[in-house]
Amino acid sequence: MRKKFLFTLIFVYSAILSLLLCGCYNNDPSIKYNNMRVRIREHIWITLPESAVIKKYEDTHGGFLGDGDLTATVLLKNDNESEEFIKTVEKKWMKLPINEEEFYEKYCCTFESVKGAIADIDSENGYIFYRDRFFEDNGEYTSFSYNYTLAYFQPDTRTLHLYALDT
C-alpha cells in the first residue's frame, strides 16, 4: 500500500512538473521578438517604433537571483514614427557632452564607470539615458549591488544602444 501511494505521488508530481515546463516553452519567433521590444521599453521608458529593427539582442539573465546583463542595438528607420521617438529622446534624455561633476552629483557614479559597456559612445554627440534601478527600488546608492540601465542614442546613424546590468 505504501509503495503504491509513493508511486502515485511521484507520478502526479512528475505530471504537474511536466505540464509546467511545457507551458513555459514557446518557440514562436514573433513572441520572442515582441518580448525583446517590451524588455527594451521597460528599460528606457519609451516605446520603440514598429519600424525599428533590433540588430543585436543578448540577455544573460538567469539563475536563481536573475543576475546578468542585457545588450541591445536597435536601428531606427527614416519614418514619422521614428521621428517621434527621436523627439522624445531629445526632450527627455541628456545631451552629450555631459558634465562629469553634474552626472556624479545626480547618480553617485562617474559616466566613465558606466559607459564602458557601450563601446560606440561618442562622448561629443548623441543622447544618453541612465537609470540606477537599485536606487529606484531602495532609495539609496550602494556598491553592494549594481542594477542600472544605460542607453545611448546616436542621431547620425539613428542607432540606439542599450546596456542593462543586474548583479
pLDDT given for residue 125 in this prediction: 85
pLDDT given for residue 142 in this prediction: 64
Decide if 160 is inside a domain: yes
3-class SS letters over 91-132: HHCEECCCCHHHHHHHHCCCHHHHHCCCCCCCCCCCEEEEEE
The tens digit of pLDDT for each residue in 95-120 reads 988 888 887 877 777 777 776 667 67
pLDDT given for residue 116 in this prediction: 65
Decide if 18 is inside a domain: no
pTM exceeds 0.95, yes or no: no
Report how far Cα 66 is from the mean position of its chain's Cα atoms: 13
When divided into structural domains, the chain yields a total of 1
pLDDT given for residue 8 in this prediction: 80
Decide if 162 is inside a domain: yes
For the chain, residues with pLDDT lower than 50 are 26-30
Decide if 111 is inside a domain: yes
Decide if 150 is inside a domain: yes
pLDDT given for residue 159 in this prediction: 94
Decide if 16 is inside a domain: no
Cell numbers describing residue 142:
550602494
Decide if 9 is inside a domain: no
Decide if 1 is inside a domain: no
Query: Residue 36 sits in which domain range?
Result: 28-166
